[in-house]
Structure 1
């Protein structure tokens, strides 16, 4: 039985990190007019929805995720008139817009917090979490970006500590105060009434806190994350947000879901609960991380059976209710082809297109990050001076202060750092990849000179970009690739990821060689059909004349339509 059909299930999402997309002023920072300039290109990709990272007024301690004014555009990005023109241009091309909603925390420069820290009896005091110093040291809370990994910051002005799960300049909002929730809802209405189509909700399960602030029995950072995601009123708040705001519009919401387990998934996204529509789980993002580590990569990478299990288990979670998201990278993680594929010259093109094939033939809404369509790779900075991200810089200082191995840290960051995804979009092979006429805010990856650019790939039939467009068209053509049942074949196979997608009489077989070696694969008897028709392949097929025997080149992807 097919689930309810909606535009956001069928849509393909293209994520834009504005700071790094296109600079039209020469100041080295991407802007809204740069996105306007590229709308025809974006529409040509076959995507339907743009997810825009924060463009709100911000002092940029965490690249826009520290918001100073939720109803004002960051000056570096442009003006509200630019935003209105961007939105109008998107609508004219049939594109929808999803904004980033960052409401677990704001900036310490926001008027609410400036008032809140002014005095203990200020009307805004209870907009944030405060612990008076006379009660002693507050119970331990871990912070993602704090130099001491401590989420409580002492503030001398009122002799109290405030809570910040992220950077010291990102105080957590107190959702337990109904006035805070109403402020958030009013702000969301403001953007919906402008015409936006939804929100990606930053660390949304963290909004509910136990305001008795009990001791937490946790030693490792990831143990705190699970606690943060299961606050006592998280479902009450999400339901209220849906009822008060989202349900009033033809909109959808996708939550960033660190700490949400597969067992709890439907509590957030089951249609009957009316909370959020889907979320990004973190099981895949932690697959190749070192045990107990949030940011460090583990030795040996990942195994294909592990990779399959993540996707197969999560597909099963949403088989009858709810809906899943599909992503391999975003602004917080390394580049797709460098992490899950092979970005050496020999295998770069095939592995980039294989990963495109994978996301566009699985069940769930696929999310692509800017540059995935041309196979952009990790930049692998070796000098701490090249980094701009508070996450890398603060963790470097922590390791240094503790006398740790800085060389090992920098080696790990070459593969794990968020900066790998944040280098400028590569438009052509002119200076700075056509991103800016000035000095870019962060260094450009040098591989734009060797084929990893839009201009170099635009008119080449066998390019990564051309293949991406073929795959988006394919997904739109066949409903089975969106709504069809998924079945993994030979889950234990170390080289080939094989699965079927079936919707009524429409059936597809997908074969993906996740290895640097030629691979042979035999279908089991349980997969029956009378005829197979090749739909697409990212490489020349060696031989598939034998009925159920297949040979795939390194990183080859093949999709067949099966007929009975």
Structure 2
């Protein structure tokens, strides 16, 4: 299949906006209550209308669905509930025809326990794949080899009576960890990646990429204080009680990432974005993307928690800029693992806040992932225990209600059955509150959040400074986050100045006297620049053009 490089050439990913699709919940084309690849094809015109650059498909591979596709039993197969390989090929072709790149999830650190590799590995200690997974003998008293904990609760080690050994599973017991210290495993995994490259995909989102290698088989030390952030690090989950020194984020992982990057470089125009969960996730993001021979970009959970005050955001972003050097970040405010943005950042029904958050995300340096439904302002669904299907929610209820609340189906038509997602009862219910936010309702309203996303994304595309430019942050003052963006292709000396008011009260601050409002900015950019001042309404947004020198001082 021919790969089309498109508007920005081989490095199209740098500054790209990637729309994440959770296929189970996007669109059901065959009427079984579960979204599928044909459903995605039906809605590609909608996705293209958002003015995004690419799609990211969460797993659609053959799977027992213990973790809804993140437990893969055949890396090269499409699970029948989602369609066929022919459907996937048609999706790639149809997306490319609309100028959209296609990136897909790759779950490399672990497989399903139903994968043929694991079935052979567990059969004996001396078969050809005996060392393809992480096996270890018990302690003298029969206890697990170490105190390592699974993110989904309990020990990360599971006893297997066939081999009379334990195997490692950082996630569900049905998700055994592959042994990346075995060169044959690395070659096999790279072969699975190559299969999809040959089918024309443009990139990969790499699930839990810092889990691919483990360290010494020894106990993790206890954590002195709980630091929340990565999924699983919560007071109700013993996973968060340890310093994870030996079970993930090992130096040996860098060698694998370099092998993976070398493979991707054989296919010009392809890219990778790694998911990183670690106490020092910003440091890992920087390390995994610096130098041009590892990942193209990475994202972490730093902006996927509840904190969103401007001081925290400023510290996170400046901390990344201080460490990443020539690396490249990818930022997200939501995904399939965390509470919906509108609920998590206290913006349910608050259009001004939701517009502020989209402007904040889309003015940072780096690439961006948008999770389906963010453009509609969808809130977290409140589900009863008997409606849950997520194993994490079922295990940790009621302290943690799991991830089902952010995975409910996309509402397309307000007055249609199940919001137009399916003609059958969906695998998760469509909340009544989401019907008023359905696509058909927002498309006919020029002032809707959906149309604000479209307008700002179209505006961003024509601003080189916002897509690929350098960034400089100024101190937060009175709840206003201020920054500059600059790109060499802009007019000589020209910068964009951005002011974002995170307070519920209007703010007026000093600004460069030469700042001029951008006439091409969309309506949600509602701040005013005049006579050396910038005036912002509550949760307001201001963007100006400033023909300034390199040492511009913005005294705010």
User: How does 1:163-202 map onto structure 2 within 5 Å?
Assistant: 163-202=168-207
Q: Is 2:239 the counterpart of 1:221?
A: yes
Q: Cα offset for 1:246?
A: 4.3
Inter-partner Cα distance in structure 1 for 2:346 and 2:535: 19
Inter-partner Cα distance in structure 2 for 1:27 and 1:218: 47
Q: Cα offset for 1:63?
A: 0.8
1:521 to 508, 511, 531: 508
2:318 to 287, 312, 323: 312
Q: Higher helix fraction: Structure 1 or Structure 2?
A: 1
- Counterpart for residue 554 of structure 2: none
Inter-partner Cα distance in structure 1 for 2:333 and 2:515: 34
- Counterpart for residue 251 of structure 1: 270
Q: Is the 8 Å Cα contact of residues 148 and 247 (structure 2) preserved in structure 1? A: no
Q: Cα offset for 1:261?
A: 3.8
Inter-partner Cα distance in structure 2 for 1:194 and 1:498: 44
Q: Cα offset for 1:30?
A: 0.2
Unaligned runs of 5+ in 1: 289-300, 397-405
1:276 match: secondary structure: coil
Inter-partner Cα distance in structure 1 for 2:536 and 2:159: 60
Q: Is the 8 Å Cα contact of residues 528 and 542 (structure 2) preserved in structure 1? A: no
Inter-partner Cα distance in structure 1 for 2:376 and 2:57: 19
Q: Is the 8 Å Cα contact of residues 51 and 97 (structure 1) preserved in structure 2? A: yes
Q: Is 2:255 the counterpart of 1:236?
A: yes
**How many residues are paired up?**
518
Q: Is 2:458 the counterpart of 1:473?
A: yes
State TM-score, norm by structure 2.
0.88
Q: Measured at CA, do residues 124 and 52 of structure 1 come closer, stay the same or move farther in structure 2, by a change above 3 Å?
A: same
Moved more, 304-313 or 531-540: 531-540
- Counterpart for residue 269 of structure 1: 289
1:424-444 per-position Cα deviation (integer Å, ceiling 9, x unaligned): 011111221110110010111
Q: Cα offset for 1:491?
A: 1.9
1:161 match: secondary structure: strand
- Counterpart for residue 485 of structure 2: 501
2:56 match: secondary structure: strand
- Counterpart for residue 65 of structure 1: 70
- Counterpart for residue 227 of structure 2: none
1:435 to 406, 421, 432: 421
- Counterpart for residue 468 of structure 2: 483
Inter-partner Cα distance in structure 1 for 2:139 and 2:364: 55
Q: Is the 8 Å Cα contact of residues 288 and 295 (structure 2) preserved in structure 1? A: yes
1:497-553 per-position Cα deviation (integer Å, ceiling 9, x unaligned): 2222123533222222223x22213125xx452533454365595x83642334433
- Counterpart for residue 537 of structure 2: 553
User: How does 1:341-420 map onto structure 2 within 5 Å?
Assistant: 341-343=346-348, 345=349, 347=350, 349-381=351-383, 383-396=384-397, 406=398, 409=399, 413=401, 417-420=402-405
Inter-partner Cα distance in structure 2 for 1:539 and 1:45: 16
Q: Measured at CA, do residues 317 and 482 of structure 1 come closer, stay the same or move farther in structure 2, by a change above 3 Å?
A: farther
2:528 match: secondary structure: coil
1:278 to 297, 301, 324: 297
2:471 match: secondary structure: strand
Inter-partner Cα distance in structure 2 for 1:252 and 1:269: 12
Q: Cα offset for 1:197?
A: 0.8
Q: Is the 8 Å Cα contact of residues 459 and 522 (structure 2) preserved in structure 1? A: no
Q: Is the 8 Å Cα contact of residues 325 and 367 (structure 1) preserved in structure 2? A: yes
Q: Cα offset for 1:457?
A: 1.0
Q: Cα offset for 1:231?
A: 1.5
2:14 match: secondary structure: helix
1:10 match: secondary structure: coil
Q: Cα offset for 1:322?
A: 1.0
Aligned-CA RMSD value: 2.3
2:162 match: secondary structure: helix
- Counterpart for residue 78 of structure 1: 83
Q: Is the 8 Å Cα contact of residues 341 and 514 (structure 1) preserved in structure 2? A: no
Q: Is the 8 Å Cα contact of residues 487 and 501 (structure 1) preserved in structure 2? A: yes
Q: Is the 8 Å Cα contact of residues 411 and 435 (structure 2) preserved in structure 1? A: no
- Counterpart for residue 403 of structure 1: none
Q: Is the 8 Å Cα contact of residues 525 and 543 (structure 2) preserved in structure 1? A: no
Q: Is the 8 Å Cα contact of residues 276 and 285 (structure 2) preserved in structure 1? A: no
Q: Measured at CA, do residues 308 and 420 of structure 1 come closer, stay the same or move farther in structure 2, by a change above 3 Å?
A: farther
Q: Is the 8 Å Cα contact of residues 529 and 544 (structure 2) preserved in structure 1? A: no
Inter-partner Cα distance in structure 1 for 2:470 and 2:442: 34
Q: Cα offset for 1:120?
A: 1.9
Q: Cα offset for 1:216?
A: 1.9
Unaligned runs of 5+ in 2: 1-8, 224-237, 549-556
Q: Is the 8 Å Cα contact of residues 133 and 179 (structure 2) preserved in structure 1? A: yes
- Counterpart for residue 140 of structure 1: 147
1:455-486 per-position Cα deviation (integer Å, ceiling 9, x unaligned): 11113211111111111111110101122222
1:536 match: secondary structure: coil
Q: Is 2:500 the counterpart of 1:512?
A: yes
